[in-house]
Amino acid sequence: MAQDMNAIKASIQNGKTALGIEFGSTRIKAILIDENHNVIAAGSHDWENQLVDNIWTYSLDAIWNGLQDCYKNMADDVMAQYGLKLETVGSIGFSAMMHGYMAFDKDDNLLVPFRTWRNTITGQASEELTSLFNYHIPQRWSIAHLRQAILNGEEHVKDITFFTTLAGYIHWKLSGEKVLGVGEASGMFPIDTATKNFNQKMIAQFDELVADKNYAWKLEEIMPKVLVAGQKAGVLTEEGAKLLDVTGTLKAGIPMCPPEGDAGTGMTATNSVKQRTGNVSAGTSVFIMAVLEKELSKAYDELDLVTTPDGSLVAMVHCNNCTSDLNAWVNIFKEFQEAMGMKVDMNELYGTLYRKALEGDADCGGLLAYNYFSGEHITGFEEGRPLFVRTPESKFNLANFMRVNLFTALGALKIGMDIMFKQENVVLDEIMGHGGLFKTEGVGQRIMAAAANTPVAVMKTAGEGGAWGMAILAAYMMNKGANEELSSYLADKVFAGEEAVRLEPNAADVAGFDAFIERYKAGFAIEKAAVESL
C-alpha cells in the first residue's frame, strides 16, 4: 500500500492526474483520477433548482458557489488522504445536465435567468422546428428555447451575442473559449455526423425562418464552436483558476478538454461509445442510448438524437417512470414482514422477490400493470396513475405479479426500442446495463435482454458515474496515441480486465415480453380512464 500511496502522491505532484466535474440536477461532483484512471479523490455539493416566474432555473451565485464548494471538498480530500495541497492537475473537463438556455449580450451579461432542461415551455417551437428540419427537436433543446423566445416576442433576443449550455458557460468562464464537445452540442442543435459540426443546411433554414426580424446576428455567429473528444479546448486562465479555487492554490495553464453533457459522460463511463453498443440506465427513470451506424429513415417523437463525445449518432429513448412503483410494492412486502414480526433485510427481500419473477409464466400469466407515477410522453400521457389489472382468468400468483411489475418498469422503453430495432432495424452487439434495476444478479438483466432482444452486460463493479466519465475524457485528451480512437482508448486503457457478466436473450422471455407489450398497448384506455377518474 505504501508504494501505491507514494505513486499516487507522485501523480498529484507531477500533474499526471485528470479532474472531471459534473453538474447534475441535484449534485455537483468532482472526481480526481490517477494515470490508471482510478479515483484518488472526490468532492461534492448538493443543490436544487428553483421555480422562478414559472421557469426552472439555478442562479449564477448557486452555480459558482456550488462549483467552488465542490472543488474545495475535493482538494480537502487530497489534503486529508495524501497531505498535499493541490496546486495543479494534468487536465480538466466539465460536464453538466444537457440542453437548456443561457444567452449573453456583448458585455457578457446573462440576458435572462438560465432556463434548464426541465422546462416544458417550448412546445410550439419544438413542433415547428421538428417539422421544418424533419428532425426531432425536443422541448428541452437550446434551439427550441431560442425559437420560443422569438415566438414570444421576448425583448432580449435582439441583444444576443452568444448562447450556450451550462457546461459551455462554465468552460467559457474558466478558459475564455466559447466551445462545446460534440455530444453536448448535439443537445443544442442537430449535428451533421459527416462533418461533426452543426448541420449547416438546418442553420440556413433557421436563419431564413427568422429573416424578417432583422436581428444583428446570424445563428452560427452566436453558437459555440464544436469540438470532438481528444481535441484541446484551451487552458485554465488566471481568472479561471481563481474562480475555481478561491484559496488561490491552483495554478493557471492547465489544459482543458471540450465540455460535455451528461449523456456523453454516461456513455464514456459505461464503455458505450463504439457503434453497435448501447447503455441503459434503469433507476427512478430509465433511458437507453444506442450508438447507430447510420441515420434513421425519418424523425420520431419517441427517439431523441444526440452524439457520442467523438461524434457518432446516438438514438435515445427516455422514459420518466421505471422502478418507483416496483419499489412501492416491495415496501408492501416489507410491511407484511414487519407486521409478522420478521426481521427485514432489504437486499434479501428484493433478491427473493426479483428471483421469484423468473419462475412466472413467460407472458406474466395475463396480468397487466402500469408504473406511471408521472406522465409518460412515449405513450402520450400527461400524468400517470400506477395501476395493477387482471381478469378472472389471469394466473394471479407471486411469480407472475413480480414479473409483470418488472416488465412494466421497461414497458414504455420497449415501445421506443421497438421503433429502433423493429422499424429502423438498428442492430446492437451489446447493451451495458447499470442502475438499481440491475442490482439483483441476473434478474433485471434477463428482463432487459427480453425487452430488447439483445445481449445485456452488467459490469462487476458499478461505474463511478458522469464525473468519472468526464475525468476520463480529460485524460484521453492528454494521453491518447496519435490516431487512437476514444473507443479503443476505453477498451484498452480504461476497461481492460474489467469483468462484465453478459447474458443472451432467452427466446421464451422475448416472446413473452412481446405478448405482454400487446396487452400493455391495448390497455391504454384503462390507464386513461384512471387519470380522468382518479
Calculated CA dihedral for residues 179, 181, 185, 191, nearest 10 degrees:
110
pLDDT digits (tens, 9 = 90+) for 314-347: 999 999 999 999 999 999 999 999 999 999 999 9
Q: Do 367 and 446 fall within a single domain? A: yes
Query: Residue 462 pLDDT > 80, yes or no?
Result: no
Q: Radius of gyration over alpha carbons of the chain, in Å?
A: 24
Q: Do 201 and 314 fall within a single domain? A: no
Q: Is 363 exposed, middle or buried (0-12, 13-18, 19+ CB in 10 A)?
A: buried
In a domain, 370, yes or no: yes
CB 32 within 8 A of CB 41: yes
Residue that is last in its domain, among 205, 240, 262? 262
What's the chain's average pLDDT? Answer: 95
pLDDT digits (tens, 9 = 90+) for 2-17: 558 999 999 999 999 9
Q: Do 253 and 315 fall within a single domain? A: no
In a domain, 66, yes or no: yes
CB 369 within 8 A of CB 323: no
Residue that is last in its domain, among 214, 233, 262? 262
CB 97 within 8 A of CB 104: no
Residue that is last in its domain, among 262, 293, 314? 262
Query: Residue 101 pLDDT > 80, yes or no?
Result: yes
Bridge-based pairing of strands 500-503 and 456-459 is antiparallel
pLDDT band, very low/low/confident/very high, at 118 (cuts 50, 70, 90): confident
In a domain, 493, yes or no: no
Query: Residue 159 pLDDT > 90, yes or no?
Result: yes
Three-class SS of residue 416?
A: helix
Write down the pLDDT at residue 54: 87
User: Domain containing 252: what range?
Assistant: 2-262
CB 16 within 8 A of CB 90: yes
Write down the pLDDT at residue 171: 98
pLDDT digits (tens, 9 = 90+) for 277-299: 999 999 889 999 999 999 999 99
Query: Residue 463 pLDDT > 70, yes or no?
Result: no
CB atoms within 10 A of CB 419: 18
What integer is the mean pLDDT of 210-227?
98
Q: Do 64 and 106 fall within a single domain? A: yes
Extended strands (E) in 114-203: 162-164, 179-181, 191-192, 197-198
Helical ranges in 210-279 per DSSP H:
219-222, 238-244, 262-269
Q: Do 180 and 285 fall within a single domain? A: no
Q: Do 338 and 430 fall within a single domain? A: yes
Q: Do 315 and 194 fall within a single domain? A: no
pLDDT digits (tens, 9 = 90+) for 408-451: 999 999 999 999 999 999 999 999 998 889 989 999 999 999 99
In a domain, 479, yes or no: no
Q: Is 380 exposed, middle or buried (0-12, 13-18, 19+ CB in 10 A)?
A: exposed
Q: Give the residue among 423, 513, 456, 401 at the shortest CA–CA distance from 282.
A: 456
In a domain, 345, yes or no: yes
Q: Do 76 and 176 fall within a single domain? A: yes
Q: Do 225 and 290 fall within a single domain? A: no
pTM more than 0.85: yes
Write down the pLDDT at residue 2: 52
CB atoms within 10 A of CB 192: 17
In a domain, 471, yes or no: no
Bridge-based pairing of strands 430-434 and 277-282 is parallel
Write down the pLDDT at residue 124: 97
CB 355 within 8 A of CB 440: yes
The conformation of residue 360, written as its DSSP 8-state character, comes to S
pLDDT digits (tens, 9 = 90+) for 267-279: 999 999 999 999 9
In a domain, 491, yes or no: no
Q: What is the CATH number of the domain that holds 178?
A: 3.30.420.40
Bridge-based pairing of strands 55-57 and 162-164 is unpaired
Q: Do 191 and 240 fall within a single domain? A: yes
Write down the pLDDT at residue 1: 46
Looking up cell 479546448, which residue turns up? 233
Q: Is 375 exposed, middle or buried (0-12, 13-18, 19+ CB in 10 A)?
A: middle
Q: Do 230 and 333 fall within a single domain? A: no
pLDDT digits (tens, 9 = 90+) for 355-396: 999 999 999 999 999 999 999 989 999 899 999 999 999 999
Write out the three cell numbers for 225. Answer: 464552436
Specify the higher pLDDT residue, 145 or 500.
145
Q: Do 195 and 323 fall within a single domain? A: no
pLDDT band, very low/low/confident/very high, at 154 (cuts 50, 70, 90): very high
Q: Give the residue among 462, 473, 435, 464 at the shortest CA–CA distance from 95.
A: 473
In a domain, 162, yes or no: yes
Tally of domains within the chain: 2
In sequence order, the β-bridge partners of residue 256 are 92
Distances (CA, A) of 252 to 16, 27, 32, 87, 194: 16, 26, 17, 9, 35
Three-class SS of residue 46?
A: strand
CB 126 within 8 A of CB 142: no
